C-alpha cells in the first residue's frame, strides 16, 4: 500500500496522487460519454490543419467562387432579356436597321425593326417591308409591309412555313433614300 508522500514505483501505473510529482505538466482532461475525465490522446491534441493547409484550402475556395461569378456574368451578358434575339445592326442605304424575332418558329412570327439614320437618330422611311426567303430550298415568300409602332420602331408579321435557316430581306424607302439589308433567322 502506498502513501501519499511516497512515489509510486515505475512498474505500477501512476495514481492521481503520484501524477503531481512527475516532471511533466499535467495534461488537460476531456470528458467521455460517461462523464469521467480522461487525458486527451496525442492525435487529438495535435490535430487540425496546418496554417499552410488552411491557406491552400481558402485559396481554392476563392478560385471556385471567382469561377462561378465569372460564369454567371457571362451567362447574364449573353442571355437575351425578353426572349427576342436581336440580330446585328446592318446598314441599308441611308438607314441602320436592327431586326428582332421572338423565338422564330414555323407559322406566324412577329418581326420588330429598329430603324435609325447613320447618326443613330430615329428614322421614318415611307415604306418598310420584310421578305422571307429560304434560298437553299428555293422558297421565297411575298413581302409583308411593316407598320409604325413608335418613331423608328416598325413591326411586321411573317409566316415561315417550315423550320430551318431563313433570310429576311428588309427593304426601306423614304425621303432620305432607299436601301435593303438581309438578316439570317433560324426557325425551329
Residue 47, helix vs strand vs coil = coil
Predicted TM-score of the model (pTM): 0.55
Rounded to whole angstroms, how far apart are CA atoms 57 and 113?
52
Q: Which residues pair with 169 in a beta bridge?
A: 131, 182
Whether 113 and 170 have beta carbons less than 8 Å apart is answered as yes
pLDDT, position 59 = 81
What is the reported pLDDT for 115?
96
3-class SS at 33?
A: coil
Strands 127-134 and 153-160: unpaired
- pLDDT at res. 45: 47
In whole angstroms, give the CA distance from residue 23 to residue 91.
92
List C-alpha distances in Å: 185 to 26, 95, 125, 168, 170: 81, 21, 23, 7, 13
At residue 29, the pLDDT reads 57
Q: How far apart are CA 40 and CA 71, in angstroms?
A: 47
Instruction: Collect the ranges in the chain with pLDDT lower than 70.
Output: 1-47, 72-87
Model pLDDT, residue 12: 54
How buried is residue 151: exposed, middle or buried, by Cβ count under 10 Å (0-12/13-18/19+)?
exposed
Distance of CA 105 to the CA centre of its chain: 26
Query: What is the pLDDT at residue 7?
Result: 56
Q: Answer yes or no: are the C-beta atoms of 179 and 95 closer than 8 Å.
A: yes
Rg of the chain in Å (alpha carbons): 40
Amino acid at each position: 500500500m502506498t502513501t501519499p508522500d511516497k512515489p509510486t514505483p515505475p512498474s505500477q501505473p501512476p495514481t492521481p496522487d503520484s501524477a503531481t510529482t512527475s516532471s511533466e505538466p499535467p495534461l488537460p482532461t476531456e470528458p467521455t460519454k460517461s462523464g469521467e475525465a480522461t487525458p486527451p490522446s496525442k492525435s487529438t491534441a495535435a490535430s487540425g490543419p496546418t496554417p499552410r493547409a488552411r491557406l491552400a484550402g481558402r485559396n481554392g475556395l476563392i478560385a471556385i467562387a471567382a469561377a462561378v461569378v465569372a460564369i454567371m456574368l457571362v451567362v447574364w451578358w449573353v442571355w437575351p432579356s425578353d426572349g427576342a434575339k436581336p440580330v446585328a445592326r446592318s446598314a441599308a442605304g441611308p438607314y441602320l436597321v436592327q431586326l428582332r424575332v421572338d423565338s422564330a418558329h414555323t407559322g406566324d412570327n412577329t418581326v420588330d425593326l429598329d430603324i435609325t439614320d447613320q447618326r443613330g437618330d430615329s428614322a421614318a422611311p415611307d415604306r418598310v417591308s420584310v421578305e422571307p426567303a429560304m434560298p437553299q430550298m428555293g422558297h421565297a415568300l411575298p413581302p409583308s409591309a411593316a407598320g409604325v409602332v413608335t418613331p423608328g420602331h416598325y413591326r411586321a408579321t411573317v409566316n415561315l412555313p417550315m423550320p430551318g435557316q431563313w433570310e429576311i430581306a428588309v427593304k426601306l424607302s423614304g425621303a432620305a433614300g432607299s436601301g435593303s439589308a438581309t438578316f439570317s433567322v433560324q426557325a425551329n
